[in-house]
A and B are shown apart, each in its own frame.
Chain A
Amino acid sequence: MNPKPLGDTAVTRRGFFQLSMGWVAGTFAVAATAIATVRFLVPNVVFEPAQLFKAGAPEDYPDGSITFLEDERVFVLRRGNTFRCLSAVCTHLGCTVNRSDKGFHCPCHGSVFNRDGAVVSGPAPRALTWFLVTLSKDNRLVVDKGQNVAHDKYLIL
């Protein structure tokens, strides 16, 4: 933007100042608009089953059981007083794995996982994910699918 007006009249100091202020403010306004637009487009809520959910009382799970929770696509495993939660989503392309004698297998492309979720054979690139399990104040198992843990991290009651 040429600060000099056409013709012979030079720009006054005041005019220069006003123009600069204007452009600075304008830049700020554009930046604020851009930030607001991006923030607008980032969802604050999702209409999907929650990542963090309650999986019932510890007593609901018999000792030595592996229970499949269909809606959340996880297995809840109990041994004695320890609890773990394993993702049932195959790390290859996302099918739901089934239980087998020696662990889990995926019906889609034949990936085989052992009881700790590690890949035994098949195209899966990574082990199945273990999720953090905690106990809520009202004595319910809480699974957080947003937090992964090692396969040997248990909730011990």
Chain B
Amino acid sequence: MNDTSLQKFYGWFSVLAILVGVLAGVGYYRDEYRPWKDYQKRFIAEEVRRAPSPDQKLQAARTPLQIRQILLPELNRVDRCTTCHLAVEDPTYGGFPQPLAYHPQHDQHPFDKFGCTVCHRGQGRATTADDAHGSVEHWDQPMLPLKFIEASCGQCHEASDNPAAPRLARGSQLFETVGCRGCHKLGGVGGVVGPELDRVGARRSPDWLRAHFLEPAAVTPGSGMPPQKFSEPDVEAIVLFMLSQTGAELPGFYASMKVLPSAAQGQHLFQQKGCIGCHSLGGQGGKVGPALDDVGLRRKPEWIVQHFRDPQTVSPGTVMPRFGFTEAEARALTDFLLHQREQKVALSLPSLMGPVERGREVFRKYGCVGCHGPEGKGGVPNPNAKTAQQVPALTYVADGYTKPEVVKLILNGQHEIAALDPARPAPPLYMPAWGSTIKEGEIDDLVAYLFSLKPKGEDLGF
């Protein structure tokens, strides 16, 4: 019954027990001492320093160290940035070194309703700097570089008429004028040669987008997209605009705030909703309702807003329908009417244009420029295409086709493009079918415009 061999285990026992104790202690210690505590201590020290009375100093010193978070259930997120960024709402910390700096214009979008990551992206749930700023593996929404911050405005607001985001507006304008829609769908409208762009801002980084614009084939092998010649500010603007296309679904409160109550936005709505059908501005328009030129002199702003909310409540018996405007839309339209005299807005009103002018609008709207060049002048490369390795110009379409032929070509598209050299890859760009996208009245106007492209003075064929 002798067992002396246990003694040889005593050494092991003591070493291991100490090791377990040390490891458990180390593991737990690493968790308790997080960097955010240091930042909070710094902030508290500063607050104590600034506190005017001893009582307040005591109160400030007693601030507990804790993780701070903004709960945003509608946006389905939790933002813990304020755990370190403690002074974002305190203007007296303007210019302080990060993370204790003040956030300029902090109450345009109150933090308790918007949080931080809807605009700045990054990983809101994190409590360490690198993880929170999102520049870590396995997080695909790193913080937007500050110069691209306007992209976030475009998630909720209309890009084109945003006075607070001029570069975004420029990007949006470029998108339309350069003709991206000819190949790319955005918001359901556009060609199908390239991928849809509705979520491109969530999937691609700014660097990738920039490289893609300048040299598409380098980033996406086999791409038929022609390299874009943008100036430096324009590249940034279009990248910004692309970054704003995140496909984010806006919950109720945020969608109702979508429209900025600006005169420009109001003008946009005015045209969109067809107010000119019943009212006139500058002598142009309908006669069912009163002229709106001097409405600002005759009516108070609150009256006009209420009129938009529900015409019957301020003008009983009026035939003006209730449009169901959101609060922001009503205010934007009011703003426009009050200021339209000053702004000397030039309304481009479709009903007052001729078919060629309307057709030019259609040409712009669907991005035909992107492949056929400005005013259909061509010049866009299509490698290995029989048509001189370019997308054909449209200047002489009147000579080569009858109107019905052109209509058919636009509606049905042409998928097979004849190759110059069958051994080389097929030409990447083709004519998509627009039949399901283009609207009924638009096709005739478009053809009228195309036929008008032939330089004047030449024989008008048929």
| A29→B24 contact, CB < 8 A | yes
Residue A64 CB within 8 A of the other chain: no
| A29→B21 contact, CB < 8 A | yes
Shortest beta-carbon distance from B127 to chain A in Å = 9
User: Among residues 1 to 54 in chain A, which have CB atoms less than 8 Å away from a CB atom of chain B?
Assistant: 5-9, 11-12, 14-15, 17-19, 21-23, 25-26, 28-29, 32-33, 35-36, 39, 44-45, 47-50, 53-54
Residue A148 CB within 8 A of the other chain: no
**Cβ of A6: which chain B residues have Cβ within 8 Å of it?**
1-3
**Cβ of B14: which chain A residues have Cβ within 8 Å of it?**
17-19, 21-22, 25
Residue B66 CB within 8 A of the other chain: yes
Closest to A20 in B: B14
Residue B349 CB within 8 A of the other chain: no
Residue A65 CB within 8 A of the other chain: no
| B13→A33 contact, CB < 8 A | no
> Interface segment, B88-96, B263-271, B381-389?
B88-96
Interface centre among A5, A25, A47, A137 (most CB of B within 10 A): A25
| B112→A137 contact, CB < 8 A | no
| B21→A5 contact, CB < 8 A | no
Shortest beta-carbon distance from B131 to chain A in Å = 16
**Cβ of A29: which chain B residues have Cβ within 8 Å of it?**
17, 20-21, 24
Tally of chain A residues near chain B (CB < 8 A): 36
Q: Which of B3, B16, B17 contacts A7 (CB 8 A)?
A: B3
Shortest beta-carbon distance from B449 to chain A in Å = 54
Give A117 to B25 CA distance when docked, in angstroms: 50
Residue B146 CB within 8 A of the other chain: no
Give A53 to B112 CA distance when docked, in angstroms: 8
| B10→A22 contact, CB < 8 A | yes
Residue B67 CB within 8 A of the other chain: yes
Closest to B26 in A: A32
Q: Which of B6, B28, B107 contacts A138 (CB 8 A)?
A: B107
| B112→A25 contact, CB < 8 A | no
User: Among residues 52 to 103 in chain B, which have CB atoms less than 8 Å away from a CB atom of chain A?
Assistant: 66-67, 69, 71, 78, 80, 89-92
Give A15 to B9 CA distance when docked, in angstroms: 9
Closest to B87 in A: A137
Tally of chain B residues near chain A (CB < 8 A): 34
| B7→A7 contact, CB < 8 A | no
**Cβ of B28: which chain A residues have Cβ within 8 Å of it?**
32, 35-36, 39
Shortest beta-carbon distance from A115 to chain B in Å = 29
If the complex has contacts A15-B10, A18-B10, are A26 and B20 also in contact, measured as CB distance less than 8 A?
yes
Give A131 to B173 CA distance when docked, in angstroms: 52
| B24→A36 contact, CB < 8 A | yes
Give A6 to B80 CA distance when docked, in angstroms: 60
User: Among residues 325 to 380 in chain B, which have CB atoms less than 8 Å away from a CB atom of chain A?
Assistant: none
Residue A136 CB within 8 A of the other chain: yes
If the complex has contacts A15-B10, A45-B69, are A26 and B21 also in contact, measured as CB distance less than 8 A?
yes
Closest to A57 in B: B107
Residue B219 CB within 8 A of the other chain: no
User: Among residues 1 to 39 in chain B, which have CB atoms less than 8 Å away from a CB atom of chain A?
Assistant: 1-4, 6-7, 10-11, 13-14, 16-18, 20-21, 24-25, 27-28, 32
Task: Show the binding face of B for A, using Cβ within 8 Å.
Answer: 1-4, 6-7, 10-11, 13-14, 16-18, 20-21, 24-25, 27-28, 32, 66-67, 69, 71, 78, 80, 89-92, 106-107, 110, 112
Give 17 new A-B contacts, CB below 8 A, not counting A5-B3, A44-B66: A5-B6, A6-B1, A8-B2, A11-B7, A12-B7, A15-B10, A17-B14, A21-B14, A25-B17, A28-B21, A29-B21, A35-B28, A39-B28, A44-B67, A54-B112, A137-B91, A138-B91
- 19 inter-chain pairs at a CB distance below 8 angstroms, sorted by A residue, are A5-B3, A5-B6, A6-B2, A6-B3, A7-B3, A11-B7, A15-B10, A21-B18, A22-B18, A25-B17, A25-B18, A26-B21, A29-B17, A32-B21, A32-B28, A36-B28, A53-B112, A136-B89, A140-B89
Which 8 pairs across A and B sit closest by C-beta, in order of nearness?
Answer: A7-B2, A22-B14, A25-B17, A29-B21, A18-B10, A22-B13, A18-B14, A21-B14
